[in-house]
Structure 1
């Protein structure tokens, strides 16, 4: 029975997460103000218009606020790439010294010949999540860097006809969306890390993390 746990607990856990995110995307598309992301976008657009309405007085405040957001994205990216490298080193060490069996056979991990392939899938998905987090956070830094320049465009310049508050706000939204996607992919690594111990911890993590995500996503 233990050998079959991967066949139904793992798909059940992933299906639960996919169902929740499908529900969240539906709410976000139909009633965005019920979600934290949608409400934050409205507030950010108002903030950009306020900053660009009086560049001389609020320009420094705008850049400092964007710098704080940029530092957060850089921190996420740094932690992601550090954990990615650490995970590779840990797996290589585990296989080199043969210490993997006591860990991977626990919690329903099984002792079949398929453990090698299953472990490769687990590590690949884990590293993939870390790399997605790194990529999204770097894109967030890129858009925040653009916003920090455009938000101080003087109103009397010809360029301001093209660099409108709506355009700058859209760049700011993209930066925040990438940052949210990066943090979300980081959360996904929790069930994947526990999957190394076996399918039971993964399923438990998927069920526990959904109320946590709902609390973060919904107003």
Structure 2
């Protein structure tokens, strides 16, 4: 469901950006020139095309993630034979590909948020980037109760830096 929501959001933002890019009225200066940042014709086009490209790649990653996870949902119910090409390792590999693509799509979407504010100037980009660093850090690392952190299947103890695989 998360991949479907993010894919839908990405393609809606792409449609909105495409409508702004191809509009007949002039969107050359979204704010007046008192805000720092380049608002020339080339820079505005570069900003919109960069955003459109990132949102399209995010949509592609989420769509492929949906495809892999749906394939896993079908294959997980197939009977296991010795002669079958569908093995548990193959199904686990497809599931991992689906989740990796979902993570990449989310990262692209999150990276596009500061770039979306880039249209209005560099100050908002800086503030959004500073805010996104702790948010993404908390998404990457989960802290357990004894002071260590769990990251990507490993437990790192804060005292002696030993690594235990979970």
TM-score by length of 1: 0.59
Gaps of 5+ in 1: 1-70
- Stretches of structure 2 lacking an aligned partner (at least 5 in a row): 143-166
Find the partner of 2:65 among 111, 122, 140.
140
Secondary structure in 2 matching 1:97? coil
The verdict on how the C-alpha distance between 1:155 and 1:195 changes in structure 2, with shifts beyond 3 A counting, is: same
Report what 2:12 is aligned to.
Answer: 82
Find the partner of 2:111 among 188, 207, 216. Answer: 188
Q: Name the TM-score, length of structure 2 as normaliser.
A: 0.76
| Offset of residue 152 of structure 1 | 1.0
Relative contact order (C-alpha < 8 Å, sep 6+): which is higher?
1
RMSD: 1.9
- Does 2:92 correspond to 1:169? yes
Q: CA deviation at 1:202?
A: 1.1
Give distance in 1, aligned partners of 2:69 and 2:10: 19
Residues 97-152 of structure 1, C-alpha deviations (whole Å, 9 max, x = no match):
335435163531356xxx11111111111001110111001111121122112211
Who is 2:83 aligned against?
Answer: 158
Look up the match of 1:32. Answer: none
1:206 CA drift (Å): 1.3
**Which structure carries more helix by proportion?**
1
What residue number does 2:36 align with?
Answer: 108
1:156 positional shift = 4.2
Indicate yes or no: 2:131 matched with 1:208: yes
2:149 is matched with none
1: CA distance, partners of 2:45 / 2:27 = 16
Measure the CA separation in 2 of the matches of 1:158 and 1:104: 69
Preserved CA contact (<8 Å) 2:75 2:91: yes
Deviation string for 1:57-102 (max 9, x for gaps)? xxxxxxxxxxxxxx33222212211110111212443xx3335435
User: Given that residues 81 and 130 in structure 1 are in contact (C-alpha distance below 8 angstroms), is that contact kept between their aligned partners in structure 2?
Assistant: yes
- Distance, in Å, in 2 between the alignment partners of 1:104 and 1:189 is 23
User: When the two structures are aligned, how many residues end up with a matched partner?
Assistant: 142
Distance verdict in 2 for CA 1:104–1:73, change over 3 Å: farther
Structure 1 distance, partners of 2:30, 2:57, is 30
- What's the secondary structure of 2:29's corresponding residue? helix
- Contact kept, 8 Å, 1:194 with 1:201, in 2: the verdict is yes
